[in-house]
Amino acid sequence: MILRRLLFVIAMLAAGAGAALAQTPEQRGQQIAARADAVATGFGDLQVSGEMTLRTPTGATSSRRFAMKTLELGGGRETRSLLVFDWPGDIRGTALLTHAFDNRQDSQWLYLPSVGRVKKITGGGRSGSFVGSEFAYEDMVEQDVASFSHLWLRDEPCPNGAGRCHLLQRTPRYSSGYAQQLVWIDTAALRYQAVAYFNRRGQRSKTLTMSGYRQYGGRYWRPARMTMVNHLTGKSTILEWSGYRFNTGLRPGDFTREAMAR
Amino acid sequence: MVQPAMPPLPDSGAWSDRLARLLVRHHLLALLLGGLLVLVSVLGVLRVGYTADNRVYFGERNADYQAFERLGDIYALSETVLFAFVGDTDLCTPPVLEGLRDFTAEAWLLPDALRVDSIANFQHSESRGDEIIVESLIPEDGALSAAQAQRIKRIAETSDELLNRLISPGCRALGVSVNLVPEGNATVSRTEVARIARSLQAEWQDRLPGLRIHVSGTVIGDAAISAAAERDTRLLVPAGFACVSVLMALGLGTFSGWLGTTLVTLGGALATLGFAGWLGIALIPATAVSPLAVMVLVSASCVHVVLGWTRRIAEGQDRTAATVAAVEENLSAITVTNLTTAIGFLCLNFSESPPLAQMGTIVSLGIVVGWLLTVLALPAMLLRLPDLRFRPLRLSPAALERLAGFALNQRGILTVFALLFLVSLAGLAQIRFNDSPLKYFDESFAFRTDSDAIEAALTGIESVQFSLDSGAEGSVFAPAFLNRVDRFATWMRQQDDVVFVGSLSDIVKRLNHTLGDGGPGGHDIAPTQAANAQAMMLYELSLPAGLDMNQMLNIDRTQTRVVVLLRDVDGQAIVDFADTAEAWLRANEPAIATQAVGFGVAFSKLTQRNNRAMVYGMLTVLVLVSGLMILTLRDLRLGLVSLVPNVLPAIFGFGLWGWFVGEVNLGSTVVTTMTFGIVVDDTVHILTHYRRRRRHGLEREEALRQTFRTVGAAVMVSSVAIFSGFAVMTQSGFALNQHMGGLTALVIVLALLTDLLLLPAVLRRTNQ
């Protein structure tokens, strides 16, 4: 947390010192990403509901609903989240617990109400299709700045029409389902407006677009809608967030294996 | 294009004589007109393209193909590339398995790859304490030990999801299957994908010399299609042209006549290609040989004119008079014969398969051009080019008269033909449909040999699929539904041609087994929908990018796709399997009864659909052409007699084909309609001359002798030319063309025999 605050201050100072200071594109990219991260985090805890609408190119649709709780720990070096499914009915009550760390691999557990047991998941879980949608788990949650190396490319109009954006290229430092991503962060409030995902052969496989940003608690901007389009299959998924609640008093005890069954 | 008015009739001498004189007087102008005609049509050649797409065989409204497309939409299925490592010994050794792992990773780099499957990235699930481990069966990096290789082999060989698809028993062969993105989302052409797949194959063949790498799949098959079309236009069409040209030179015995015929046929052939370009028809093997068909058919008309001309010059007439007479004498006959041939081809438009319809259209247009050129350009050639006579290779008039005499007086002929008829009817029963785009290619195509090798060593190439709907159960995870699916999969595994069945029930059983810690009773479908769904959720959350369940489940998880691979099956066997499976479902599991879907199924049924459609085409030709014959001959009885030599050759041809070859395909289904217009030609020539002589008061026998003397040579030379042209088509590496060429050539020869031997015998017994 302190580090992030510090970075934020440095960033502000740098901005204040004026653009005259020469920066490499790497430094600039890193700086923008760090500032975007700084304004998005530090919220303590958060509860929100999500509804996914899956859509095929021919127009068939299907939905998934879940509630999500997130808690920041250790000054932002650790994030815990619990996702509990509500729909489809046959996975109601199924809960996915994630412990995400800055500097080591995440841990994930799934609680299966049908057998009343918790299973630890080992595998490529964060990058694969999430419950059949076009989202991977890693696409839905806040991305840790340290997981990528950033490169500022240019400033240009945001692809979703949300004003002006910094365009960054980011390359995963650890294993990921993608080889590279392009991210558009608006210049006005440093919000992620769009992400383009590229696979190992350099082909754009998916595009994520945010919309309906609202500010909560006078500070935190969150999108109401995230639209993921898969360019390989023509399928898409719309993820709509509702009922954002910040600082609800969640504690680490709400994010344990025992808590999942509740 | 087809003249709306009645064609010119023989004996209406005055005007055909005037027209002939007019054509001869203004022969240079006519030549110019002919040249312009060729020029305009030939400009279209620039627009001719080849297509590398098997789907063109289906019409827009083909229900079987639509079902196949719908399945593709639901499960994001598209075309495939299938690689196979084939060895003579156990391939599950550390170096080969490491190679397979690296090859699998490289296969992801193929342009537009959506998903890659092999035993290397198979997501094996294992339970360790309360931990569920889902990971690639071959660890993603590091060297393998012999013990690891043995473990991998043991797991893969005993998996219903892998055995006989991606690994063979004993690990003699290993597969890497690549699914591509749907065509609409592709970034490069499929031909390019095929090229890169081949270079990947070649590169790895060098790296792994101890085994053989084969490549197949629909992408490779499509590439083979356009290669076959190009090969046929580049080699077969010129070869056919050379062959017909040499035969013409030998049969005609005159330089000017030969060159004239050659130029006219060349013009017709080029015009055919040109029309394909103008009409925007992309050539495939089946249409690529159209110019060859036009060439041989147009040459037949020229032969009649040229031989009439040489006969008159031999009788002492001067060139101009001989040309006028030759044109006048044949004008009506060649008009009728070209018209009937064009009608025959035009009626291919009844076909359910667009390429065959397109072939009918461009060939009939080409024939019309050829006919115009025969009339417009040939006279100028006969008048202006040096004659340069040489001794032709054909029956002398005297020999032809003897032949007529033999046919008239040999009583055994009718008996022989009656026997032939019976034998042919029995032969028709031997005919078996064999349509499979895979088997269309002969062994000169790597696609065919690779596919055969893969079928022999690893798996089946033909797939049949079922999209099973959970219906009232509302979810694919409902135990009642999963048990139905499981029973269906079990039944299919017991069928003869089936090598592999991919079913959701197997995956659910495996997951429940893993979740139950591998203990007894775990290897089963759980009794509640929630338990099955949650087991699947656990698995899905563990799958890496690109290896999701979306090719097996629809998005709201109410339908699942079962894939069946069939080994070494012909078209009939595919349809039989599809019918049996559908019937089994209806009888035993009516709740999930559905249609068997697949490219192979749709293709094999296309022949049957086409056959039914061509019956109407055939009837139309029969009525139109016979009507035209009756009008031309202005003699109902003679018109009816003409049915005998017109209809019988096709029955004889298919009957003998049934005995000696047995297999027919989509290409054969159009032969009857197509050849009808062709075989009619000889009958038209013989009967018009015969009738003209009878009108002049000659006795039957004498009239026939003179007819044979006059047109016998032309009938024989033209039939031999047509026969040879279609016989050249049998040298195609593509079964559609082989069969179409072979059957047509056979029918032409039988038609010649029928015209020369049976027709006189029938005429002799007809009261007039």
Q: Tell me how far the alpha carbon of residue B578 is from its chain's centroid.
A: 22
- Distance (Å) from the alpha carbon of B184 to chain A's nearest alpha carbon: 9
Nearest CA in chain B to A109: B131
Q: Specify if A46 maps to a domain.
A: yes
Inter-helix orientation angle B671-695/B319-346, to 10°? 140
Residue A155 backbone phi and psi in degrees, to 5: -100, 140
Q: Do A124 and B535 touch (CB under 8 A)?
A: no
DSSP state, residue B523? S
A201-214 pLDDT, tens per residue?
999 999 999 999 99
Question: Which runs of consecutive H residues, i.e. helices, occur in B255-353?
Answer: 255-278, 285-288, 290-314, 319-346
Q: What is the mean pLDDT of residues A234-245?
A: 96
The reply to whether omega before A223 is within 30° of 0 (cis) is no
pLDDT at A6 (0 to 100): 56
For residue B422, the one-letter residue type is: L
Best of A81, A115, A175, A257 to substitute, by most chain B Cβ atoms within 10 angstroms, is A115
pLDDT reported for residue A20: 43
Across the interface, which of B182, B538, B557 has its CB nearest the CB of A119?
B538
φ and ψ of B583, to 5 deg? -65, -40
Looking at residue B524, its pLDDT comes to: 87
Cross-chain Cβ contact B557/A112 below 8 Å? no
Q: What is the pLDDT of residues B90-112, one digit of tens each?
A: 999 999 999 999 999 999 999 99
Is residue A1 domain-resident? no
pLDDT at residue A5 in the model: 58
Listed residue (B645, B644, B647) closest to B682, CA to CA: B645
Q: Please indicate, yes or no, if residue A171 is contained in any of the structural domains.
A: yes
Q: At what angle do helices B599-633 and B671-695 cross, to 10 degrees?
A: 10
What are the strands, taking DSSP E only, across B627-737?
A: 663-664
| pLDDT at residue B519 tops 90 | no
Both tokens of A94, joined, read: 């199924």
Mutate which: B537, B557, B561, vs A, most A CBs within 10 A: B537
Instruction: Give me the pLDDT at residue B356, please.
Output: 87
Per-residue three-class SS string for chain A: CHHHHHHHHHHHHHHHCCCCCCCCHHHHHHHHHHHHHHHHCCCCEEEEEEEEEEECCCCCEEEEEEEEEEEEEHHHCEEEEEEEEEECHHHCCCEEEEEEECCCCCEEEEEECCCCEEEEEECCCCCCECCCCCCEHHHHCCCCHHHEEEEEEEEEECCCCCCEEEEEEEEECCCCCCCEEEEEEECCCCCEEEEEEECCCCCEEEEEEEECCEEECCCEEECCEEEEEECCCCCEEEEEEEEEEECCCCCHHHHCHHHHCC
For chain A, the C-alpha Rg in angstroms (whole number) is 18
**Model confidence band, residue A21 (pLDDT cutoffs 50, 70, 90):** low
With beta carbons under 8 A apart, name residues in chain A contacting B130. Answer: 117-120
Instruction: Name which residue leads in pLDDT, B561 or B733.
Output: B561
Average pLDDT of span B345-358: 90
Question: For B133, which residue in chain A has the nearest alpha carbon?
Answer: A122
Confirm if B506 and B487 have CB atoms less than 8 A apart: no
Most confident segment among A138-142, B291-295, B451-455, B621-625: B451-455
pLDDT score of B60 more than 90: no
Q: What domain count does chain A have? A: 1
Residues of chain A in contact with residue B126, where contact means CB-CB under 8 angstroms, are: none
HSE-CB at B668 with a 13 A cutoff on CA atoms is 29
| Closest-CA distance of chain A to residue B521, Å | 15
How much is the average pLDDT of B699-705?
Answer: 89
Name residues whose C-beta falls within 8 Å of residue B528's C-beta, 6 or more positions apart in sequence: A114, B479
Mean pLDDT within B559-570:
94
- d(CA B109, CA A85) in angstroms, rounded, equals 36
More confident residue, B747 or B634: B747
Does residue A8 lie within any of the structural domains?
no
Taking residues B563-572, what's their average pLDDT?
A: 91
Residue A20 domain-assigned (yes or no): no
Which A residues in the span 2-61 are in contact with B, Cβ-Cβ below 8 Å? Answer: 54-58, 60-61
pLDDT tens by residue, A30-53: 999 999 998 888 889 999 999 999
pLDDT of residue B8: 36
Q: Is the pLDDT of residue B767 over 90?
A: no
pLDDT score of B705 more than 60: yes
Interface test with B, best of A110, A232, A260 (most B CBs within 10 A): A232
Shortest distance, CA A123 to any CA of chain B (angstroms): 5
Fold of B13-56+222-385+393-429+602-764: Multidrug efflux transporter AcrB transmembrane fold (1.20.1640)
Residue A123 has pLDDT above 70, yes or no: no
Q: Average pLDDT, stretch B605-633?
A: 86
Which chain B residues contact residue A200 at CB under 8 A?
108-109
Minimal Cα–Cα distance from B111 to chain A, Å? 8
Beta partners for residue A221, in sequence order? A215
Kindly state the helix (H) or strand (E) to which residue B86 belongs, with its residue range.
strand B80-86
Under 8 Å between Cβ of A111 and A94: yes
Please indicate whether, in this complex, the C-beta atoms of B187 and A108 are within 8 angstroms of each other. no
Window from A135-139, B71-75, B266-270, B515-519 with minimum mean pLDDT = B515-519
User: Do B469 and B559 contact (CB within 8 A), yes or no?
Assistant: yes
The reply to whether residue A96 touches residue B541, judged by beta carbons under 8 angstroms, is yes
String of DSSP letters for B178-238: EEEPPGGG-SS-HHHHHHHHHHHHHHHHHH-TTSEEEEESHHHHHHHHHHHHHHIIIIIHH
What average pLDDT score do residues B549-565 get?
Answer: 95
Cross-chain Cβ contact B185/A233 below 8 Å? yes
Decide if B534 and A123 are in contact by the 8 Å CB cutoff: no
Of B184, B541, B554, the CB nearest to A121: B541
pLDDT the model gives residue A10: 58
Task: Report the pLDDT averaged over residues B226-235.
Answer: 85
| pLDDT at residue B284 greater than cutoff 60 | yes
Residues 173-212 of A with CB under 8 A from B: 177-178, 199-201, 203
Query: How close A18 comes to chain B (CA, Å)?
Result: 43
Sequence-distant (≥ 6) Cβ neighbours of residue B706 within 8 angstroms: B689, B693, B698
According to DSSP, the residues that pair with B388 across neighbouring strands are none
Question: From its phi and psi, is residue B178 left (phi > 0), alpha (psi between -120 and 50) or beta?
Answer: beta
Measured between beta carbons, which residues in chain A are less than 8 angstroms from residue B549? 129, 132
User: Closest Cα of chain A to B437: distance in Å?
Assistant: 26
DSSP state of B662: -
Cα(B409)–Cα(B420) distance, rounded to whole angstroms?
Answer: 19
B174's enclosing H/E stretch is strand B173-180
Q: Is B117 in a helix, a strand, or coil?
A: strand
- What is the rounded CA–CA span in Å between residue A83 and residue A97? 6
> Which residues of A are less than 8 Å from B554 in CB distance?
60
Q: Give yes or no for residue B768 having a pLDDT over 60.
A: no
Mean of pLDDT over chain A: 88
CB B721 within 8 A of CB B299: yes
B432 and B664 in contact (C-beta within 8 Å)?
yes
Calculate mean pLDDT across residues B569-597: 94
Q: Which residues in chain A have Cβ-Cβ distances shorter than 8 Å to B76? A: 233-235
Q: What is the pLDDT of residues A151-172, one digit of tens each?
A: 999 999 999 998 999 999 999 8
- The beta-carbon neighbor of B544 closest among A55, A96, A124 is A124
Q: Give the pLDDT band (50/70/90) at residue B1.
A: very low
Higher pLDDT, B289 or B552: B552
pLDDT value for B629:
85
Q: Between residues B559 and A144, which one has the greater pLDDT? A: B559
Mutation target to probe the A interface, by most A beta carbons within 10 A, among B187, B192, B556 is B556
- B644 phi and psi, to 5 degrees? -60, -55
What residues have CB less than 8 Å from A89, skipping those under 6 apart?
none
Contacts of B140 in chain A (CB under 8 A): none
CA distance B602 to chain A (A): 22
User: Are the CB atoms for A186 and A210 separated by under 8 Å?
Assistant: no
A1 pLDDT tier (thresholds 50, 70, 90): very low
Ranges A206-215, B127-136, B735-744, most confident: A206-215
| Chain A, window 54-73: residues with a beta carbon less than 8 angstroms from a chain B beta carbon | 54-58, 60-62
Query: Which is higher by pLDDT, B220 or A20?
Result: B220
Interval A137-146 mean pLDDT: 83
* Chain centre distance of CA B180: 25
Among the partner-chain residues A56, A129, A232, the one whose CB lies closest to the CB of B73 is A56
* Residues of the domain holding A177: 25-260
Whether residue A124 and residue B114 make contact (CB cut-off 8 A), yes or no, is no
* Distance of alpha carbon B6 from alpha carbon B9, whole angstroms: 8
Give the model's pLDDT for residue A113.
Answer: 94
The set of residues, in sequence order, having a beta carbon less than 8 Å from that of B75 and lying 6+ positions away, is: B467, B550, B551, B552, B554, B561
Say which CATH number the domain at A176 has.
2.50.20.10
**Residues in chain A closer than 8 A to B74 (CB atoms):** 56, 58, 60
Record: contact A61-B555, CB cut-off 8 A: yes
If one compares A179 and B519, the residue with the highest pLDDT of the two is A179
Contact A122 B187 (CB under 8 A): no
Q: State the count of interchain CB pairs (< 8 A) between A and B.
A: 158
Q: Which residues of A touch B473 (CB under 8 A)?
A: none
| Mean per-residue pLDDT, B531-539 | 93
B463: left (phi over 0), alpha (psi -120 to 50) or beta: beta
Please indicate, yes or no, if residue A48 is contained in any of the structural domains.
yes
Tokens found for residue B299: 């040459």
Assess if residue A13 is contained within a domain.
no
Contact criterion met (CB below 8 Å) for A122 and A171: no
Contact A115 B554 (CB under 8 A): no
Contacts of A231 in chain B (CB under 8 A): 185
Are the C-beta atoms of B525 and B482 separated by less than 8 Å?
yes
Residue B18 has pLDDT above 60, yes or no: yes
Interface contact A124-B111, CB threshold 8 A: no
Q: Is residue A2 part of a domain?
A: no
Mean pLDDT of B342-349: 90
Q: Is B592's pLDDT higher than 60?
A: yes
